[in-house]
Amino acid sequence: MELVAIQLNGAADWPVNKEKLAGLLEQLPVGRPLLVQLPENAVVFGNRDAVRRWAEPLGSGPVQDTLSGWAREFGIWLVVGSMPTLIDGSERWHSTCLVYDDQGRQVAHYHKLHLFDVDVADGHGRYRESDSYAPGNDLCVVDSPFGRLGLSICYDLRFPELYRALRERGADILMVPSAFTRVTGQAHWLPLLQARAIENQCYVLAAAQFGEHAGGRQTWGHSIILDPWGEICACLPRGEGLILASLDRQRLDSLRRQMPVAQHARLRAVWRDNNEY
């Protein structure tokens, strides 16, 4: 079984991204089970007008039909890092991760929990994701032939309690599709990902955006696959393309047996005993 991360220089128009992604999917190896992840903003990476044009109700629409068709055509499990989905009665959207099985069925979704409202010393400067998006409220761990997938998106990475909760729900692979800025990515991308892998003893699959985008956005790239020991299995520092790494279930199980961190965790019990939880 292979894990695959696709790195994209996303545009503000779905037809452009659609053509790029189709070409990258054509490069996938055949004849083996593949879990393929697209980055955050894989459908549209632009301003509110661009997002409004391509947002769809969850579960229906031509964009999702295309994504479903790719999963079925290539016989892959496809994790779409994020696309905008409509919220009834709201002027904002959800940033939603979608999971398709190899028959093209949409088997899970996750609405981004933590929104990127941050000032960064780059060409864009002020990021206010909450101007356009509303946060989600639910965690998602989904069964797959590769193990249980714990879903997250980009800025979620800075909140370790989320990933501990995903591990407690049985996650084996942490999904971190992202569009990290160049500044924050250079500083923190790799150490944060390695920490999430090591402390939760999970594989980490992190497909990223790379390069220059509309509105002065600059993203870091460095799509990466990490094993449960925090070791780098594959990395693509820059450019568009894809990386692959084998999933070693025996290594995952062995590490968890040798160092049963999840069973040793006591903080919740301490809080409960002290009436603080």
Comparison of pLDDT for 208 and 274, the residue scoring more: 208
Which domains are present in the chain? 2-273 (3.60.110.10)
Mean pLDDT of 218-236: 97
Alpha carbons 146 and 103: distance in angstroms, whole number:
15
Indicate the range of 40-44, 92-96, 111-115, 126-130 predicted with least confidence. Answer: 126-130
Q: Which residue has the tokens 């961190």?
A: 261
Q: Which residue has the tokens 């999963």?
A: 71
Mean pLDDT of 184-198: 97
Mean pLDDT of 24-36: 95
* pLDDT of 52: 95
Confirm if 248 and 227 have CB atoms less than 8 A apart. Answer: yes
Mean pLDDT of 72-85: 98
Q: How does the average pLDDT of the chain come out, rounded? A: 95
Model confidence at 166: pLDDT above 60: yes
Model confidence at 276: pLDDT above 70: no
Mean pLDDT of 188-195: 98
Amino acid identity of residue 251, one-letter, is: R
Relative to beta strand 2-7, strand 34-37 is parallel
* pLDDT of 20: 98
Alpha carbons 238 and 185: distance in angstroms, whole number:
12
**Percent of the chain beyond pLDDT 70?**
98
Q: Is the pTM here over 0.85, yes or no?
A: yes
Indicate the range of 67-71, 122-126, 147-151 predicted with least confidence. Answer: 122-126
Mean pLDDT of 142-160: 98
* pLDDT of 125: 66
Sheet with 203-206: list strands edge to edge: 141-142, 149-151, 173-175, 203-206, 223-226, 232-236
Model confidence at 277: pLDDT above 70: no
Q: What DSSP string runs through the chain?
A: -EEEEEEB---SSHHHHHHHHHHHHTTS-SSS-EEEEPPTTSS--S-HHHHHHH-B-TT-SHHHHHHHHHHHHHT-EEEEEEEEEE-TT-SSEEEEEEEE-TTS-EEEEEE-SS--EEE-SSSS-EEEGGGTB-------EE--TT-PEEE--GGGGG-HHHHHHHHHTT-SEEE--B--BHHHIIIIIHHHHHHHHHHHT-EEEE-BBEEE-GGG-EEE--EEEE-TTS-EEEEE-SSSEEEEEE--HHHHHHHHHHS-HHHH--HHHHHHHTT--
Q: Please list the active-site residues.
A: 40, 112, 154
* pLDDT of 127: 84
Amino acid identity of residue 23, one-letter, is: G
Counting Cβ atoms within 10 Å, is residue 205 exposed (0-12), middle (13-18) or buried (19+)? buried
Mean pLDDT of 210-224: 92
Mean pLDDT of 17-35: 96
Mean pLDDT of 99-116: 97
Confirm if 154 and 180 have CB atoms less than 8 A apart. Answer: yes
